[in-house]
Amino acid sequence: MEYNKVRKIKKEAFFSESHGLFTMRYHHWLRSALLLVLCLVLLCGCSESSKPVKGTKEEMTVVGTCDGYEIYYEELRYLVLAHKDIMENYYGEGIWDNAATAAQHLPELRETVLENLKANYAVMSVADTFGISIEDEAITKAVQSMIDATVSEFGSRKQYLAALEEMYLTDHLVRFTYATSICQEEMIYAMKDLDLIIDNELDFLDYAYADGFCAVYHIYIENDEGDDIDANRSKAEEVRDMLLGGTDIKQLIGSAYNEDVYLVGTDPYYFTRGEYDERYEEAAFGLKIGGVSEVVETEDGFYVLVRQELDQNYLVKNVQELKQRYEYVQVEELVDECRDLLTVELNEYGQSLDFLAIK
């Protein structure tokens, strides 16, 4: 796959629904969640080297391919079981215990799993265009260091493996996911070398000011389980009317209207395109400074936004963090473009698997 071809591909609509504003892409959710769960336990120190755990015959059975890369049963199983948990939490407990509801949700489960299977292989495909491979010695050593630190934090190799089992993971799959994550980091450096992303901080600040970043306050009304959605929408419309009537949004942020527990400080949210829910971003970047958005509906609730002027002191103080987020988005967009070209081709064994029977 040629690098320039990947860059020229027009981005298509997201494959699946966005489950929350701060989910980068739904089809990357599980991959990101896996890394988050594991990285939370990483410390600087490392213990005695933890050798790779040999997977079982079932775990290492090839179920298909993606862009020529072999897909193992362990990864398919992880995605099936993790998505079953997500869907049960979203649609209601017990949906997989009832034959009728299980059959009803099976097509979505299958489609979502197959789409998510493309995530790691899209990373590998793009990395390959930069001459980066998960088999590179430096990446292998970095993965081993991450595993050693993880085992150390869990307390022992036995406890580490028990934790993986509880999360439907295997040591081999964790190493694979760590490796693809490191590949993404290496791609950032490669893109900098090729002047494909901004590296200089002053140039980055110019980019931020030139509508590269947006700052907003918002009021969020969450669609909790059992809520009257129309009532929540009406509440959001009420908030919008108050803002249009001159109410300062800061007065509403700490009120009962706002259910965003993270927007508790004095600073608005700063973000670049590609970080948040697409509907939210379109509304935010479409506003003038001080403008009030229409009610923005997402899968998990409603937002009303007020765009703020970028604060120079904030940008300078947080330039490293903002720049890192910008860099990550650039790589993610490239991976997304590649992912849209890929297909998962299950082999005969993979096609024979009953997703509802996987344990």
As a whole number of angstroms, the distance between CA 205 and CA 207 comes to: 5
Please list the residues that pair with 272 across neighbouring strands: 213
* Cβ contacts of 67 within 8 Å, gap of 6 or more: 1, 121, 122, 124, 125, 342
> Residue 50: its pLDDT value, please?
83
Whole-number Cα distances in Å, 36 to 39, 140, 249, 318: 5, 20, 32, 22
> Residue 263: its pLDDT value, please?
74
CATH 3.10.50.40 placement within the chain: 202-316
- What token pair was written down for 23? 């989910």
Q: Can you spell out the DSSP letters for 255-281? A: STT---TT--SSS-EEEETTSS-HHHH
Q: What type of residue sits at position 318?
A: N
As a whole number of angstroms, the distance between CA 332 and CA 25 comes to: 9
* Cβ contacts of 255 within 8 Å, gap of 6 or more: none
> Residue 48: its pLDDT value, please?
52
Domain at 202-316: CATH code: 3.10.50.40
As a whole number of angstroms, the distance between CA 334 and CA 99 comes to: 40
CATH 1.10.4030 placement within the chain: 25-196+328-352
Domain at 25-196+328-352: CATH code: 1.10.4030
> Residue 264: its pLDDT value, please?
64
Q: What type of residue sits at position 12?
A: E
Please list the residues that pair with 218 across neighbouring strands: 305
At residue 238, the 3 state secondary structure works out as helix
As a whole number of angstroms, the distance between CA 287 and CA 283 comes to: 7
- What token pair was written down for 254? 């700490």
The backbone torsions φ and ψ at residue 231, rounded to the nearest 5 degrees and listed phi first, read -65, -40
Q: What is the pLDDT along the chain (359 residues), one digit of tens a residue?
A: 333 333 322 222 222 222 233 333 333 434 444 444 444 444 334 445 688 999 999 999 999 999 999 999 999 999 999 999 999 988 899 999 999 999 999 999 999 999 999 999 999 999 999 999 999 999 999 999 999 999 999 999 999 999 999 999 999 999 999 999 999 999 999 999 999 999 999 999 999 999 999 999 999 999 887 889 999 999 999 999 999 999 999 999 988 899 987 776 678 999 999 998 999 999 999 999 999 999 999 888 999 999 999 999 999 999 999 999 999 999 999 999 999 999 999 999 999 999 999 99
As a whole number of angstroms, the distance between CA 348 and CA 108 comes to: 21
> Residue 265: its pLDDT value, please?
67
Q: In the sheet where 269-272 sits, what is the strand order? A: 269-272, 213-222, 301-308, 296-298
Alpha helices in the chain (DSSP H): 3-8, 29-39, 73-91, 99-116, 118-129, 137-154, 157-166, 171-193, 201-207, 229-244, 249-253, 278-285, 312-317, 319-339, 348-352
- What's the pTM? 0.78
H/E run at residue 216: strand 213-222
Q: What type of residue sits at position 311?
A: D
* Nearest to 179, CA basis, from 210, 135, 218: 135
